[in-house]
């Protein structure tokens, strides 16, 4: 039983590393090297970088931008427009 638990933890750790790498890569695309990804069931729902200075918006941190992008994507998906933002 202990080996299954350890293998599960290693699998989760590897997935987290993959998503962290995605966020790091996304952050390199912005003016400020900060980004965040929202992941559910090993699927990336949104990944955005900080745009505080380019947008002159103090709330535009990567985490907030990812939440906003996920909300827009979710609302469009519910209305049958899932390809509009992807």
Q: For the domain that residue 26 is a member of, what is the CATH number?
A: 3.40.140.10
In a domain, 86, yes or no: no
Cβ atoms of residues 69 and 85 within 8 Å: yes
Question: Is 23 a member of any domain?
Answer: yes
pLDDT at position 43 is 86
Mean pLDDT over each residue of the chain, to the nearest integer: 77
Residue 22 falls inside a structural domain: yes
Entry pTM: 0.66
**Residue 49, phi then psi, degrees to nearest 5:** -105, 165
In a domain, 15, yes or no: yes
Lowest mean pLDDT among 23-27, 47-51, 65-69, 78-82: 78-82
For residue 24, the enclosing domain spans: 2-78
Count structural domains, the chain: 1
- Quick one: DSSP state of residue 51? -
């Amino acid at each position: 039983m202990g080996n299954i638990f350890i293998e599960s933890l290693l699998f989760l750790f590897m997935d987290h590393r993959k998503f962290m790498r995605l966020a790091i890569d996304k952050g390199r695309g912005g003016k400020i090297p900060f980004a965040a990804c929202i992941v559910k069931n090993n699927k990336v729902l949104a990944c955005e970088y900080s745009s505080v200075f380019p947008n002159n918006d103090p709330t535009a941190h990567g985490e907030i931008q990812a939440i906003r992008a996920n909300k827009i994507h979710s609302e469009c998906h519910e209305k049958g427009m899932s390809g509009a933002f992807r």
